Structure 1
Amino acid sequence: MSDHSRILCPVLQQRIMSAEQAAELIPAGANVGMSGFTGAGYPKAVPGALAQRIRQLNSQPNAKPFRINVWTGASTAPELDGVLAEVDGIEMRLPFQSDPICRNRINDGTMDYVDYHLSEVSQYAWSGFLGKMDIALIEVAGIREDGSLIPSSSIGNNKTWIEQADKIILEVNSRQNAKLEGMHDVYYGTALPPNRKPIMLTDPADRIGEQYLACPPEKVIAVVETAAPDRNSPFKPSDEVSKKIAGHILEFFNKEIELGRLPKELLPIQSGVGNIPNAVLEGLDAGPYKNLTAFTEVIQDGMLKMLKSGTLKVASATAFSLSPDGIQEFDDNIDFYRDKIILRQQDISNHPELARRLGVIAMNGLIECDLYGNVNSTHIMGTRMMNGIGGSGDFARNGYLSIFVSPSTAKDGAISAIVPMVSHVDHTEHDVKIIVTEQGLADLRGLSPRQRAHEIINNCAHPDFRPALIDYYERALHSGRGMHTPHLLEEALSWHQRYEQSGQM
């Protein structure tokens, strides 16, 4: 029996129950706002109990399908997205996911999916665009005497979900390090138009809010105790392709510093999750840089190393995304990191006003890029969702530099990342400044569409596909259909069609 040492509010101690009992309180058709961002800080127990309940109810004769709508901060984990998708328990999902079972249901049409810019989700909820939130299911590291909440390893949309929900279920996870307390910065100064005021944050190290989440105890209908780890994936050592991409980016940074267009401390870094971003972080850590800052979504292993070495002096994010070794390093040295890491809600970590003011250097991945710099970062062959746009658009449009990275080929060379026309557009040519593959870097700033085409083909396309891209471009250029952005409409998506028919672009 727990001594409830993480639950200090007497009123809420009276609402402790099992995950199964709490799951009984979630009705079919409910809009449920759940915590979680990139596999950190998501509820670990109630979703699984709810999935078991859904399976039992749906197996009964003449049962009406039991499904809920799931809103989160970003992707979560198999214990949430996976178990609910497996029992066909999700009617609609937003705003970002990475679960393979969810992905299959989205792409076979049995789950609706709304792919939003992450900075906008809270505003949509406040404005009523998404409908009424029935229940918030939030993981926390503890509950204080007054009912305020100690956030766990992510904040995401938790502030908004708590404010918007009619009822709240809390999971108190004792596996979360108790010393997370004090690392969070929850800002309560946002408002809807026309009542907005400037957000007074001018440096990634600024603290502008509260350490705790305000939570009216009367809204809490259940408290569930857990002791389970976050989802974590082993850190993959950088491969040669990733190292080459990182090398091109670091060379570019050095030139920009020489030209006086970047300070020697660079500007605040925003980095997507994955092998290539971590290779860039490794490169920065091995270089001459000191006192860098990060204003980003997630703290990765590479950022812990940079903080430890002094390359990075502060990192602002909304969540952790660490490997098992990274989690161990963080827990073992949390007293060192707690003054150098700030976790904020995602409508602040991804806020366009702040990205523009701070001059963020945005580095994100792409699926494909076309000759003119339009980027597809979400859809395979134009129709099949991969994960979602996430926060890349928040930073790409508003950052000082928007860098998109990818290997030049995929599927063992069958697919080119550089194509005549993207099959789906997430980031238009107007927002894309730099494209990087292992082949090289294309600086698109100040270039016309035709100039961008030469830069992208010559620097970023794989040699196996470069002749065909040149041939397409030159024939489009002489087609007489228009010289500004030359295309052959009858061929523009033929590469994708050829892949689907033959398995080779």
Structure 2
Amino acid sequence: MSDRIAHAGLRGKVMTADEAAQFINHGDALGISGFTGAGYPKALPTALANRGKELHAKGEEFAVDIYTGASTAPDCDGVMAEADIIRYRMPYQGDPALRKSINAGKAKYQDIHLSHSALYIEQGFLPIDAAIVEVTRITEDGHLIPSSSVGNNVEWMDNADKIIIEVNSWQSEELEGMHDIYRIQHLPNRTPVPINAPGDRIGTPYIDINLDKVVAVVETNAPDRNSPFKPLDETSKAIAGHFLDFLEGEVRAGRLAYDQYIMQSGVGNVPNAVMAGLLDSKFENIKAYTEVIQDGMIDLIDAGKMTVASATSFSLSPEAAERMNNEAARYRKNIILRPQQISNHPEVVRRVGLIATNGMIEADIYGNVNSTHINGSRMMNGIGGSGDFTRNAFVSSFISPSLAKDGAISTIVPFASHIDHTEHDAMVIITERGFADLRGLAPRDRVAKMISVAHPEYQPLLEEYYERALKTAPGMSTPHDLRTAFDFHVNMIEKGSMKG
């Protein structure tokens, strides 16, 4: 038995994943750990999937509701979706098998702002029966040392009737001390979150739980879903360059200083390109108050450019994950992992004054942004934390290449086919063509700027649409020609290209 389970009582509850899976019943609502492929349970999902297959083969029902922090991995969401045991899922996902199930109408999916998801359980909007949570160690006192993410783990375990703990010896024990666990008070007795700067610590380095709820402890030794990032291409570098140009403009305007940049960044290759650009920039003493720490932030810390990175999770390449596992003690002074209710808390986001940068599927000529749905109907991943940060940021920005699918798709469209972030929230839109600064502009004044960041192949089509809208719209505040507003999307569905 692993020496990572120091509590005598919990050592007596060690069992296999298959044995632990017997505590889960058909129809149960499960709160599981995991956020952007980090810190998710490695054994129970497969055990539950196998149990589901066995029961289905006998003609018996077995399906569960799954709540997480955010996305997990193929060996978590994926195996359960393939076994057809996910009945309902929230608040965010990114697995191809689960996405297929959602878009086929099998699994029901509620896409929720990540800072709101724990509230659904705490206030009884949704039930929870069991929590399945990965940790890196259990102390002699029964305190849980989280692994590579915190997510909603605290709230799941506080509210579940049963708790199953996975102790993963692959995760570095030196992560201990990196976490900052703080519980938000229940309504109506809630008080302000006492964070004034990204580096503030306000809680404990462990999670304390009701040990009587623990029904099983399972030992594992498996890595997170550490996916490699693609090499930086010219488009990503161009987007990063325009973002840095925007930051330089903010410095010249006196709204930002080279040593006062507080960042929030979404996940992916383009945000990583932005951080690579910051390595050679004039910006120093960079701080992050964000939800995910990825490779680019680790590189900025190593270069001495970033002093604090506060988040709820890692999302690292295999190389960066190995570096973190080997040197976690060195990074503890720079990195804080918090519950996602805190990392994404609108109150704190507004107070610290960060610049938010997130990806998008498309934006329309007035600055409405679609982060979630292809052609208005097909779910991609979800809104994630982009809404938490966008509406409350000092400056909100969205970044994307101007084209997708080898030019068949324009990311700048006449009318967004689904709107997650309205024109009231999106301030800056950036593509490889440049940046559209929409601050202070009435809707019609935004159009030329938005068309300027579209690809030249689509600019004439967008201009034609706008001219038509000016002639046919029943009002001139935000002119639209509703007869042709979605022609780009209809062309894509029917002809395979938005150009028709």
User: Which residue does the alignment assign to 1:159?
Assistant: 154
CA distance in 1, matches of 2:393, 2:361: 20
- The AA in structure 2 aligned to 1:82 is G
CA distance in 1, matches of 2:246, 2:303: 23
User: Which residue does the alignment assign to 2:52?
Assistant: 54
> Aligned-pair distance for 1:237?
1.8
Residues 427-476 of structure 1 show CA distances to partners (whole Å, capped at 9, x for unaligned) of: 00000000000011000000000001111112x11000000100110111
Answering whether residue 473 of structure 2 is matched by residue 501 of structure 1, we say no
Q: Tell me the C-alpha RMSD between the 2 structures.
A: 0.9
Which residue of 124, 141, 144 maps to 1:146? 141
- The AA in structure 2 aligned to 1:94 is M
Structure 2 counterpart SS, 1:468: helix
For structure 2, the 5+ residue unaligned runs are: none
- The AA in structure 2 aligned to 1:21 is E
> Aligned-pair distance for 1:498?
1.1
CA distance in 2, matches of 1:134, 1:267: 43
CA distance in 2, matches of 1:115, 1:311: 35
TM-score (norm 1): 0.98
User: Which residue does the alignment assign to 1:464?
Assistant: 457
Structure 2 counterpart SS, 1:462: coil
User: Which residue does the alignment assign to 2:7?
Assistant: 9
Answering whether residue 366 of structure 2 is matched by residue 368 of structure 1, we say no
Structure 2 counterpart SS, 1:412: helix
> Aligned-pair distance for 1:123?
1.3
Provide the aligned length of Structure 1 versus Structure 2: 498
User: Which residue does the alignment assign to 1:254?
Assistant: 248
User: Which residue does the alignment assign to 2:64?
Assistant: 68
> Aligned-pair distance for 1:217?
1.2
- The AA in structure 2 aligned to 1:139 is E
Which residue of 110, 116, 121 maps to 2:112? 116
Residues 292-314 of structure 1 show CA distances to partners (whole Å, capped at 9, x for unaligned) of: 10001111011011001111001
User: Which residue does the alignment assign to 2:270?
Assistant: 276
> Aligned-pair distance for 1:240?
0.5
Which residue of 183, 195, 201 maps to 1:201? 195
User: Which residue does the alignment assign to 2:294?
Assistant: 300
User: Which residue does the alignment assign to 2:309?
Assistant: 315
- The AA in structure 2 aligned to 1:387 is N
User: Where do residues 21-36 of structure 1 align in structure 2 (5 Å cutoff)?
Assistant: 21-36=19-34
Answering whether residue 120 of structure 2 is matched by residue 127 of structure 1, we say no
Structure 1 counterpart SS, 2:407: coil
> Aligned-pair distance for 1:336?
1.8
CA distance in 2, matches of 1:315, 1:191: 25
> Aligned-pair distance for 1:147?
1.1
Q: Is the 8 A contact 1:147 1:216 kept in 2?
A: no
Residues 36-65 of structure 1 show CA distances to partners (whole Å, capped at 9, x for unaligned) of: 0000000000110111111011011xx232
- The AA in structure 1 aligned to 2:40 is Y
Which residue of 317, 322, 346 maps to 2:340? 346
User: Which residue does the alignment assign to 1:172?
Assistant: 167
Answering whether residue 374 of structure 2 is matched by residue 380 of structure 1, we say yes
Structure 2 counterpart SS, 1:185: coil
Q: Is the 8 A contact 1:123 1:192 kept in 2?
A: no
User: Which residue does the alignment assign to 2:82?
Assistant: 86
> Aligned-pair distance for 1:145?
1.2
Structure 2 counterpart SS, 1:123: helix
User: Which residue does the alignment assign to 1:490?
Assistant: 483
Q: Is the 8 A contact 1:76 1:97 kept in 2?
A: yes
- The AA in structure 2 aligned to 1:146 is D
CA distance in 2, matches of 1:85, 1:196: 37
- The AA in structure 2 aligned to 1:35 is S
User: Which residue does the alignment assign to 2:233?
Assistant: 239
User: Which residue does the alignment assign to 1:215?
Assistant: 209
- The AA in structure 2 aligned to 1:461 is A
CA distance in 1, matches of 2:304, 2:492: 47
CA distance in 2, matches of 1:65, 1:24: 14
**Deviation above 6 Å: which 4+ runs of structure 1?**
none
> Aligned-pair distance for 1:480?
5.0
User: Which residue does the alignment assign to 1:445?
Assistant: 439
Which residue of 91, 97, 102 maps to 2:93? 97
Structure 2 counterpart SS, 1:250: helix
- The AA in structure 2 aligned to 1:113 is Y
- The AA in structure 2 aligned to 1:212 is Y
CA distance in 2, matches of 1:104, 1:334: 37
CA distance in 1, matches of 2:260, 2:85: 46
Structure 1 counterpart SS, 2:216: strand
Q: Is the 8 A contact 1:82 1:102 kept in 2?
A: yes
> Aligned-pair distance for 1:192?
3.2
> Aligned-pair distance for 1:235?
2.3
CA distance in 2, matches of 1:128, 1:334: 37
TM-score (norm 2): 0.99
Answering whether residue 261 of structure 2 is matched by residue 263 of structure 1, we say no
Q: Is the 8 A contact 2:182 2:202 kept in 1?
A: yes
Structure 2 counterpart SS, 1:478: helix
Residues 226-263 of structure 1 show CA distances to partners (whole Å, capped at 9, x for unaligned) of: 01110111122211101000000101101111110112
User: Which residue does the alignment assign to 1:473?
Assistant: 466
CA distance in 1, matches of 2:142, 2:51: 29
User: Which residue does the alignment assign to 1:44?
Assistant: 42
CA distance in 1, matches of 2:113, 2:234: 32
> Aligned-pair distance for 1:266?
3.7
- The AA in structure 2 aligned to 1:50 is L
CA distance in 2, matches of 1:263, 1:348: 26
For structure 1, the 5+ residue unaligned runs are: none
Q: Is the 8 A contact 2:146 2:207 kept in 1?
A: yes
